[in-house]
Amino acid sequence: MALTDSEQLAFAVAEAKAGRAKGGIPIGAALIVDGEVLATGHNQRVQLGSAIHHGETNCLENAGRLPASVYERATMVTTLSPCDMCTGAILLYKIPRVIIGENSTFYGGEDYLRSRGVDVVVLDDDECIQMMSDFIAAEPALWNEDIGESD
């Protein structure tokens, strides 16, 4: 039986929590292909001192090189509305479906994704909202750095 959207989101939430437990930013992602988890990842800005390892891009990196035919069957699952960089990565690889945990603490490139034909589902997940709200309240400067804002 195929995984529900909420079941797919759970893989991304687990990654977000794992990242936070190591002092990182709690955003996680999973790449689902043909009903299976191909890769997961989480934001590693703090852990790796990285400018580009967001949840989604770290997940794509963990998936490694894939042929276009695999991306074309994939769903990108992310706990938070994807930023412009991650939106671009989703479009670059022509990933046709995106499941988003929440978009109330940050609203990313969803409108652009939809305008390019991507099926975008927002689950308004309470746990994702709480996770990001707690993080932003605790570490506002780190959060602004992650989304390219000055303090």
Q: Please give the residue ranges that form the binding site for Zn ion (CB under 5 A).
A: 54, 83, 85-86
- Specify whether 56 is catalytic: yes
Catalytic residue among 7, 15, 36, 56: 56
Which run of H or of E encompasses 97? Answer: strand 97-102
Whose tokens are 């308004």? That residue is 124
Tell me whether residue 27 or residue 38 sits nearer to Zn ion (CB atom). Answer: 27
Q: How many CB atoms lie within 10 A of CB 11?
A: 20
Least Å distance between CB 117 and Zn ion? Answer: 20
Least Å distance between CB 82 and Zn ion? Answer: 6
Whose tokens are 């998936």? That residue is 63
Least Å distance between CB 15 and Zn ion? Answer: 14
Tell me whether residue 37 or residue 85 sits nearer to Zn ion (CB atom). Answer: 85
Q: Of 99, 116, 85, whose CA–CA distance to 11 is shortest?
A: 99
Tell me whether residue 31 or residue 86 sits nearer to Zn ion (CB atom). Answer: 86
CB burial string 119-138: b at 16+ within 10 A, e below? ebebbebeebbebbeebbee
Q: Which residues are marked as active site?
A: 56
